Structure 1
């Protein structure tokens, strides 16, 4: 069985299963209809909702959020050029200035998305040039130790890790972590997120033992902090840790972390969200490997229904979960046949 999960932060960023933690803390009541639709309804429906919402009266800040989400929906439809043009349009409504921190971070986030999209399309030189230009603009406009500068350094750390440029990646992540620790504190969600991204970068550079140690430290911190009980970043960290544990055949530990990640995502996003289905799929995989076929079937069946309803029967995530579920059912049938044969022989 193959889990629909990847170490790469770039791929995870654009998958339905993942939305960056630092930007997913608002309650659904504060989100636009467009944002609420993303990840919960078919992508085509989200596109139509976003477009319709843009025709009505919305504030400038809301317009930026709608356009950002619309770009992500376009990207989910493999329309990268349309996504980039949409994010460039959104940037025009979100100035980069010291006086408006929210707008400055929104502008930076949009530019990071554009750079990541170039990288995902294997336009590596263009991606690096875009990241460096964005960083230079941010540092000149609002300072080297501003939060937007930390955001770009974090993205650069991931980019360089995927290019196997270890020294550049380490330097970028170090600068990002310094910014966040100075500005927000060592246990702030965004500080922990850049540390998590660094650990993922270690995985991309095949430094699995170092990554495992990093995730273990992060899990200890976040599990011991009551404020993070149902925060999405806790689910992300435990998901990465669980996957590494499963790769090391620590199946019970992995199942425990996947179960907790599922509970967190269900509380944070609801029972029918794509991100919740990721945890259910992961849990089903590890339970299958551990021989707990009944619980594996329950988890994978729920994941399949969520993904089929939201993404359609032919989506790669839906098909992956379907294959996992078929493997569980085949194992159950084989076990029944074996028991029947044993009874006859007796």
Structure 2
């Protein structure tokens, strides 16, 4: 993707006949973008960790999923300062071990963030649309097992990253690359990179479809159940739209760039202009990927009514916010306010649709 003297990931190389891609755009865009991601993301996630660890009095499965999401975002963000340093220096100075760990954290925690966002959306969907489903009776122990399974599924395909050296060059030309070129790579690395590309696409397509499905069903349910209360519907829709919008903005460009580079290399190797366009999109998309970690505390953690109450109680009295209303509880954290209001009049209908 870039020349072999300075690159963040170097996942692709130019097709035969195309000159090397310059690194000016990477060095110009990524350091400030990643710095903003780190500052905003660590600030929000550190506040979230403090609330979860010291202020939250009551835990439920939803908050446990959100806590795991914060951990995933935090680990992804703490890996970025090393990358920013390498971009500014023009070479990697932290050794082979930290190179392997850094790449593993960057990729696995991005996937964990996506997976946990999807779990949160599914949990809220069942709470609102199917309040009698047994999924809503998850204990904290069962929720912990679900979280552990998510981490296992995310980490397993990327554990081989820790088994291979990704260091290229020496001295002030040392680089920490995930991949350079097929010509100099072993078969194991080629398979690893191919697996990464497939996962990059699949982990966007399926969660996006699930998020859209859950958002549409929640919106439709609330519209049917809260006729005459348009403000509650609007609040629910704002949360749903924000979730899908942030997910799309942060992860769609990487998916498009990955598919575009693969298609050009496979079917249009002579189209150097298109190849360069997609590599530039890849550079920009890296910054957007980690912007998700900065936005998650706003979109998800702060949408939990229990978290909001804990946060408000920790503020000085002059800054203390009011209690969240019922509509926010129903729309954002998936509580059973709507269910309680409609239980008697819709018991039969809801029960039959509880799967």
Query: Common fold, TM-score beyond 0.5?
Result: no
Q: Which has the larger radius of gyration?
A: 2
Which protein has greater RCO, CA pairs closer than 8 Å, 6+ apart?
2
Q: How does the TM-score come out when normalised to structure 1? A: 0.29
Q: How does the TM-score come out when normalised to structure 2? A: 0.28
